[in-house]
């Protein structure tokens, strides 16, 4: 093999340096591109996380508020079972009436008039004024979503000093809220 003269050696050396620089730049560019892509993905994730945090932040107050309401009603809507809701609510109403010192009368259950109601109950009970007020007070916290649709107070002709209380109570259905959101009521 012919020996390279110094000029040829220098040319080869310069070519090698040039190719080396090119490869270094090319490799560096590829590495930079990959790193930049990873960084862009990361920044996107960070932006997503910030948005999510802003979305979640108000829920702390909402959760506190919901907890207070649940404590007031003594009820967690998530735990209500739709199938036995009316039966259990009816039993709770009678129990509240008994505990308030009222004498329970006839109870009539009728199917719901609205998609958001599970049923409505017509309930008649008699008792003294204090018991009536106690019952009206305790019906709010029976552990079931009850709304007194209408109330009628009349004197009990059979027992002087007693009042007859006719209540129409609506039992709300939380499951329909789960599916449909708010009502127009």
Give least dist CB 91 to another protein, A: 19
Q: Rounded to the nearest 5°, which phi and psi values hold at 24?
A: -65, -45
Site string for another protein, 42-61 (x = CB under 8 A): xx-xx-xx--x--xx--x--
- 100: number of Cβ within 10 Å: 20
Q: Does 81 bind another protein (CB under 8 A)?
A: no
Please report whether residue 33 would count as binding another protein according to CB under 8 A. Answer: no
Q: In the window 132-151, what residues touch another protein (CB under 8 A)?
A: 133, 136-137, 140, 145, 147-151
Residue 171 Cα to chain centre, angstroms: 20
Q: Which long-range contacts (CB under 8 A, 24 or more apart) does 178-184 make?
A: 180/115, 180/116, 183/114, 183/115, 183/116
Residue choice 11, 26, 154, 159 for contact with another protein (CB under 8 A): 154
Burial profile 12-26: b = 16 or more Cβ within 10 angstroms, e = fewer: eeeeeeeeeeeeeee
Q: Is 8 a binder of another protein (CB under 8 A)? A: no
What whole-number distance in Å separates Cα of residue 49 and Cα of residue 26? 34
Contact 65, 86 (CB under 8 A): no
155 binds another protein (CB under 8 A): yes
Nearer CB in complex with another protein: 16/45: 45
Quick one: which of 6, 106, 111, 160 contacts another protein (CB under 8 A)? Answer: 6
**Dihedral of CA 130/133/137/142: which sign?**
positive
Structure tokens belonging to residue 93: 């109403």
41 lies in the binding site for another protein (CB under 8 A): yes
Is 17 near another protein (CB under 8 A)?
A: no
Q: For binding to another protein (CB under 8 A), which residues are involved?
A: 1, 3-6, 35-36, 38-39, 41-43, 45-46, 48-49, 52, 55-56, 59, 62-63, 65-66, 69-70, 72-73, 77-78, 133, 136-137, 140, 145, 147-155, 166, 170, 172, 174, 177-178, 181-183, 185
């Amino acid at each position: 093999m012919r020996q390279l003269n110094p000029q040829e050696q220098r040319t080869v050396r310069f070519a090698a340096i040039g190719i080396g620089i090119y490869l270094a730049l090319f490799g560096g560019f590829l590495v930079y591109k990959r790193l930049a892509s990873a960084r862009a993905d990361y920044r996107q994730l960070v932006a997503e996380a910030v948005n999510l945090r802003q979305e979640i932040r108000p829920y702390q107050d909402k959760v506190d508020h919901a907890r207070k309401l649940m404590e007031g009603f003594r009820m967690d809507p998530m735990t209500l079972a739709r199938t036995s809701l009316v039966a259990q609510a009816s039993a709770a109403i009678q129990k509240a009436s008994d505990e308030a010192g009222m004498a329970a009368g006839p109870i009539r259950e009728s199917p719901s008039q609205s998609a958001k109601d599970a049923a409505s109950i017509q309930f008649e009970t008699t008792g003294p004024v204090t018991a009536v007020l106690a019952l009206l007070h305790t019906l709010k916290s029976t552990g079931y979503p009850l709304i007194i649709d209408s109330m009628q107070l009349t004197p009990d002709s059979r027992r002087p000093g007693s009042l007859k209380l006719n209540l129409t109570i609506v039992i709300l259905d939380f499951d329909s809220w789960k599916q449909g959101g708010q009502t127009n009521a």
